């Protein structure tokens, strides 16, 4: 029995599935190797045996995360087993989305580069192809000034700000954060990685398409039908990305 | 005799040339390493000893395809030797183009990134330099709403949609698919890989050129003359790409 | 005792901290691997035991710098220990900024690609997200024609030009150089590398954002609050970048 | 004595300096690894002991060239020692520039991607920073229709077309070829590689700068002064690029 297991047991939270912890570590590395996160950004998953908890790495670059770096948090954003390890300032993004959205199993927060411009302009991020159909008709933007005024440090560093962000997310799959980044949610670790990757790709392609003239976006019906089809395919890129990310060890 | 051979013999289809199967596996990897496909997309070749059949990988990421993953399909899109292996939902793209175009030997379907914007805007993809002269004067766009209505999942998932796509392709070498990707055809595996790569490059360069002002495109005569010259040169990049793609094993 | 130590002792300048010299060599490599410098560009640090001196590599590509290539300079830009090794033509950038700004501990000069266009147009570089909040409201441009006329070689190749550049920098963190590049300053080697990287990223993202329409930039208050938060986080990407840069040895 | 030496002796042309042949092979690889050439493009050098001859690889992808692939050509574009090896269709680019410009020692022909758009629009390629100051005030465009009509295959496949291209180049360092690529000349192999790389970089940066508004270009005097300074620095990136290109063997 490791220290982590001991700590969790003492808090009456069962240890998470080992395979889930490993998948979360892999997801951290994939997101780096595929250009969604750099030294910043994070991915979490809801605890498989305790829905009021979630798993998230300690404060570190995602590309370097191993299973030993994964901590367990409650929905107030408190780590059960951090010890003297630092935690992410924005763990409340995850905590409050898991609280507000019982259907959500996994969350990515990133500053993926092509998405940032859509968060600071009036142009809405919208799906231009089937790979990003999970975004629906378009993507809302969280303006932190509405909650924290015009002098904040832009971080979602409290439960109140996390809850405000979750309200703008609503029942969507992606929310942009003005002057900061974005959050993507999903029903599994591979799915949320798929979505974070293709949200970034859509932003890049939409930005180019706009320069070519009027754009034909997906209809709501196309987006819904296509998203359903794609949900069965998320393991295909995951296997590829996993092999790449782990080979570079 | 392998299982695959046995299965094919029982269906009275001869085994394909081993070198062709290997070239197709290499093509899958090249298309990934050169940025034409990601976890999605596929490349096929007409069966060398049975023109009413074609070879295509099982449902998987192209970058991971080996000769053992190549299956044989008939022109109705039915696999002869899949066993319990899953097949691509869009195998009908290949089947119906091989049916409609007896001159076609190889087909690539991809979501290559620079091409996508041209499929959702009114700006036509046109060759701006000799490397993409195989595209002729310009490239048609397949609007799936014309065949499947405005609520489809955007995939060419039936023989009827494959046939509709083949009709828009007509006697061209490339067809774009609105909100989805593109299809490139060729008379050999190396040629279709060359074309898929340079269609992507042309899209990227044309997009930049348009921003600089009025563009001088190739004339139909220039395109025809240049394409003929280039057809003799397709093995040059193939040798390079093959070495790169296989070295990363 | 190495030759370098001997030389420095004879000039009555103590040897710098070994860890600082090693960090500076690492910084050179990181800046190359993260796309801030190519064969040109340089990074320096103020001498830890002699504030009137600074450390800077000999004239060579930053990606190849090792601790043995680090020289010690005085604030007139004279190397104490170069021997027959060539020095950078633009060492005066560093010398004059260290002279003018006693708070500055580290300086990067680069031609990072996305920043260059902002130095030759009227569009000001401004922070569009929290990662570049250290830039404040916007970034000044040094027009060398104001100091050297319209026929210079564009290099800051003298103390006078270095002082002119330092005056335009003022109390900012970044200054652009028209037709040339930029300079970023910081209070530590990891911080200046962080800033040089995110100045480049901001330029790339701002350029895209402008094409999408009116941009919401950070307020002065947001920039100040965010910069303060980020200053505590500069070691996170540093650890990642260091591992990458040194692995490629 | 190798076969090549024998052949050259029989034609009364001395064998070239071995180091020059090796540098030319390295240049081929650098140009590929730095994104100037792909499977196509070529670089040549004037024969060091016979100014009426030049050295150029046989018809193959530049990234794969070794010293054994280097052939000797006369100024009519005839190879002395090709044997049964195929030669580049466009060797006349090199031959006619060496004939017309006795000061030229090395020539690169490429389809480097950012330059192509400037060859098909009315926007002139102009130096926006010191690294591309060798281009002077701006860069001419060779319109092959003026020499070969509107139905050519776009290739410079004859002495007459090579001579026409050389006339448009005039006394410049770079000439663009509409719908095709560009040619860069230099006084050494490292210098021509430097120039081909920074012509590509300038195109990429100028394209971005134009989107930001009116651009301040180098004056003729700035370009001349800067180019003179840079000429002394071409070995700095060469050493870096060489190490990278040869490491990937």
**Quick check: D142 and D176 in contact, CB under 8 A?**
yes
Contact C240 A39 (CB under 8 A): yes
End-to-end alpha carbon distance in chain C:
27
**Residue closest to A248 by CA, chosen among A44, A61, A56, A26:** A26
Q: Rounded mean pLDDT of B4-10?
A: 48
pLDDT at C3: 44
Q: What φ, ψ does residue C142 adopt, rounded to 5°? A: -90, 115
Strand order in the sheet with A70-74: A70-74, A53-57, A42-46, A106-110, A181-186, A174-177, A141-142
**Quick check: D168 and C191 in contact, CB under 8 A?**
no
Residues of chain B above pLDDT 70, percent: 95
pLDDT at D138: 87
> Which residues in A139-226 belong to E strands, given as ranges?
141-142, 174-177, 181-186
Name the DSSP class of A41.
-
Question: Can you tell me the ipTM of this complex?
Answer: 0.94
Whether the pLDDT of residue D236 is over 50: the answer is yes
pLDDT at A5: 47
Q: What is the pLDDT of residues B22-64, one digit of tens each?
A: 999 999 999 999 999 999 999 999 999 999 999 999 999 999 9
Whether the pLDDT of residue A249 is over 60: the answer is no
pLDDT at C4: 47
Interface check for B38 against chain A (CB to CB < 8 A): the answer is yes
Residue that is written with structure tokens 């489809």 in the block? B152
**Quick check: B25 and B65 in contact, CB under 8 A?**
yes
Q: Coil, strand, or helix at residue B240?
A: helix
Using CA of residue D234, residue D239, residue D242, residue D244, what is the dihedral sign? negative
Q: Which residue of C has its CA nearest to A121?
A: C215
> Which residues in chain C belong to E strands, given as ranges?
42-46, 53-57, 70-74, 106-110, 141-142, 174-177, 181-186
**Quick check: C175 and C182 in contact, CB under 8 A?**
yes
pLDDT at B6: 43
Q: Which chains touch C (3 or more CB pairs under 8 A)?
A: A, D
Whether the pLDDT of residue D1 is over 60: the answer is no
* Pairwise pLDDT comparison (A234 vs B138), residue with the higher score: A234
Q: What φ, ψ does residue C203 adopt, rounded to 5°? A: -60, -45
Pairing assessment for the beta strands C141-142 and A106-110 based on DSSP bridges? unpaired
Q: What is the pLDDT of residues A101-151, one digit of tens each?
A: 999 999 999 999 999 999 999 999 999 999 999 999 989 999 999 999 999
Strand order in the sheet with D53-57: D70-74, D53-57, D42-46, D106-110, D181-186, D174-177, D141-142
Q: Which residue of D has its CA nearest to C125?
A: D212
pLDDT at C248: 53
Q: How confident is the model at residue D247 (pLDDT cuts 50, 70, 90)?
A: confident
On average, the pLDDT of chain A sits at: 95
pTM value is 0.95
Contact A39 C237 (CB under 8 A): yes
pLDDT at C240: 97
Q: Which two tokens stand for residue D56?
A: 């150029």
Q: How confident is the model at residue A1 (pLDDT cuts 50, 70, 90)?
A: very low
The DSSP element (H or E) to which A119 belongs, if any, is helix A116-120
Q: How confident is the model at residue D220 (pLDDT cuts 50, 70, 90)?
A: very high
Q: What is the pLDDT of residues C101-128, one digit of tens each?
A: 999 999 999 999 999 999 999 999 999 9
Q: Rounded mean pLDDT of C94-103?
A: 98
Q: What is the pLDDT of residues C180-200, one digit of tens each?
A: 999 999 999 999 999 999 999
Whether the pLDDT of residue D164 is over 50: the answer is yes
Angle at D245 between CA D242 and CA D249, to 5 degrees: 130
Q: Which residue of D has its CA nearest to B126?
A: D179
The DSSP element (H or E) to which C7 belongs, if any, is helix C3-10
As to burial, measured by CB atoms within 10 angstroms (0-12 exposed, 13-18 middle, 19+ buried), residue C241 is buried
Residues 223-242 (D) with a CB less than 8 A from some CB of C? 225-226, 228-229, 233, 236-241
Interface check for D204 against chain C (CB to CB < 8 A): the answer is yes
CA C65 to chain centre: 16
Dist. CA A78–CA A7, nearest whole Å = 14
Q: What is the pLDDT of residues D5-40, one digit of tens each?
A: 445 544 689 999 999 999 999 999 999 999 999 999
Dist. CA A142–CA A67, nearest whole Å = 32
pLDDT at C11: 60
pLDDT at B248: 53
Least CB-CB distance to D61: which of B129, B224, B237?
A: B237
The DSSP element (H or E) to which A46 belongs, if any, is strand A42-46
Residues of chain B above pLDDT 90, percent: 93
- CB atoms < 10 A from the CB of C171, how many? 8
**Quick check: D170 and D96 in contact, CB under 8 A?**
no
Q: What is the pLDDT of residues D52-61, one digit of tens each?
A: 999 999 999 9
Interface check for A104 against chain B (CB to CB < 8 A): the answer is no
List Cα–Cα distances, C231 to A161, A203, C189, C191, C235, in angstroms: 22, 29, 12, 7, 9
Interface check for B109 against chain A (CB to CB < 8 A): the answer is no
Interface check for D117 against chain B (CB to CB < 8 A): the answer is yes
| Chain B nearest C-alpha distance from D103 (Å) | 30
| Chain B nearest C-alpha distance from A182 (Å) | 22
Least CB-CB distance to A61: which of C133, C225, C240?
A: C240
Q: Coil, strand, or helix at residue C183?
A: strand
Q: Rounded mean pLDDT of A225-241?
A: 97
Residue D19 makes CB contacts below 8 A (sequence gap 6+) with none
Rg over alpha carbons for chain A, rounded to the nearest Å, is 18
Dist. CA A225–CA D247, nearest whole Å = 48
Rounded (10°) angle between helices C189-211 and D189-211: 60
Residue A10 makes CB contacts below 8 A (sequence gap 6+) with none
pLDDT at D5: 47
Dist. CA A91–CA A71, nearest whole Å = 11
Whether the pLDDT of residue C2 is over 60: the answer is no
Print burial letters for C37-50: b (CB count within 10 Å at least 16), e (below 16). bbbbbbbbbbbbeb
Whether the pLDDT of residue C57 is over 50: the answer is yes
Residue that is written with structure tokens 């441009």 in the block? C141
Q: How confident is the model at residue C138 (pLDDT cuts 50, 70, 90)?
A: confident
End-to-end alpha carbon distance in chain A:
27
Dist. CA B156–CA B176, nearest whole Å = 13
Interface check for C63 against chain D (CB to CB < 8 A): the answer is yes
Interface check for D221 against chain C (CB to CB < 8 A): the answer is yes
Residues of B involved in catalysis: 90
**Quick check: D203 and D117 in contact, CB under 8 A?**
yes
Dist. CA C138–CA C175, nearest whole Å = 10
Least CB-CB distance to A122: which of C206, C214, C236?
A: C214
Residues of chain A above pLDDT 70, percent: 95
Q: What is the pLDDT of residues C8-33, one digit of tens each?
A: 544 689 999 999 999 999 999 999 99
Residues 18-37 (D) with a CB less than 8 A from some CB of B? none
* Pairwise pLDDT comparison (C4 vs B99), residue with the higher score: B99
Q: Which two tokens stand for residue A77?
A: 């954003």
Q: What is the pLDDT of residues B64-119, one digit of tens each?
A: 999 999 999 999 999 999 999 999 999 999 999 999 999 999 999 999 999 999 99
Contact D237 C38 (CB under 8 A): yes
Q: What is the pLDDT of residues A163-199, one digit of tens each?
A: 999 999 999 999 999 999 999 999 999 999 999 999 9
Pairing assessment for the beta strands D141-142 and D174-177 based on DSSP bridges? parallel
Pairing assessment for the beta strands B53-57 and C174-177 based on DSSP bridges? unpaired
**Residue closest to D36 by CA, chosen among D225, D217, D199, D206:** D199
Q: Which two tokens stand for residue D44?
A: 């040549």
As to burial, measured by CB atoms within 10 angstroms (0-12 exposed, 13-18 middle, 19+ buried), residue A187 is middle
Q: What is the pLDDT of residues B148-161, one digit of tens each?
A: 999 999 999 999 99
Mutate to test the interface with A, among C126, C191, C203, C212 (most CBs of A within 10 A): C212
> Which residues in chain D belong to E strands, given as ranges?
42-46, 53-57, 70-74, 106-110, 141-142, 174-177, 181-186
Of the listed ranges A104-113, C240-249, D222-231, the one predicted with least confidence? C240-249
Q: What is the pLDDT of residues A61-93, one digit of tens each?
A: 999 999 999 999 999 999 999 999 999 999 999
pLDDT at A248: 53
Q: Which two tokens stand for residue A26?
A: 């892999």
Print burial letters for B216-248: b (CB count within 10 Å at least 16), e (below 16). bbbbeebbbbbbebbeebbbbbbebbbeebeee
Q: Rounded mean pLDDT of B198-210?
A: 98
Chain D residues closer than 8 Å to C181 by CB? 129
**Residue closest to D110 by CA, chosen among D195, D204, D235:** D195
Contact A123 C241 (CB under 8 A): no
C90 is an active site residue? yes
**Quick check: C201 and C131 in contact, CB under 8 A?**
yes
Q: What is the pLDDT of residues C71-92, one digit of tens each?
A: 999 999 999 999 999 999 999 9
Interface check for C41 against chain D (CB to CB < 8 A): the answer is no
Dist. CA A42–CA A58, nearest whole Å = 10
Dist. CA C175–CA A65, nearest whole Å = 36
């Amino acid at each position: 029995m490791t220290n982590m297991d001991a700590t969790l047991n003492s808090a009456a939270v069962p240890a998470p599935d080992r395979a889930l912890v490993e998948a979360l570590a892999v997801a951290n590395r994939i997101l780096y190797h595929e250009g969604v996160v750099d030294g910043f950004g994070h991915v979490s998953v809801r605890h498989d045996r305790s829905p009021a908890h979630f798993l998230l790495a300690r404060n570190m670059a995602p590309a370097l995360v191993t299973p030993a770096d994964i901590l367990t948090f409650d929905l107030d954003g408190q780590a059960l087993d951090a010890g003297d390890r630092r935690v992410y300032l924005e763990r409340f993004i995850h905590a409050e989305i898991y609280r507000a959205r019982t259907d959500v199993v996994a969350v990515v927060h990133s500053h993926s580069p092509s998405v940032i411009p859509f968060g600071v302009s009036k142009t809405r991020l919208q799906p231009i192809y089937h790979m990003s159909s999970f975004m629906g008709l378009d993507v809302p933007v969280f303006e932190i000034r509405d909650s924290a005024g015009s002098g904040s440090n832009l971080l979602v560093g409290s439960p109140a700000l996390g809850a405000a962000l979750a309200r703008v997310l609503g029942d969507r799959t992606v929310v942009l954060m003005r002057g900061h980044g974005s959050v993507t949610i999903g029903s599994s670790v591979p799915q949320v990685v798929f979505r974070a990757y293709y949200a970034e790709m859509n932003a890049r392609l939409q930005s180019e398409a706009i320069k070519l003239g009027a754009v034909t976006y997906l209809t709501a019906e196309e987006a819904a039908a296509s998203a359903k089809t794609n949900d069965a395919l998320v393991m295909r890129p995951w296997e590829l990305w996993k092999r790449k990310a782990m080979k570079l060890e």
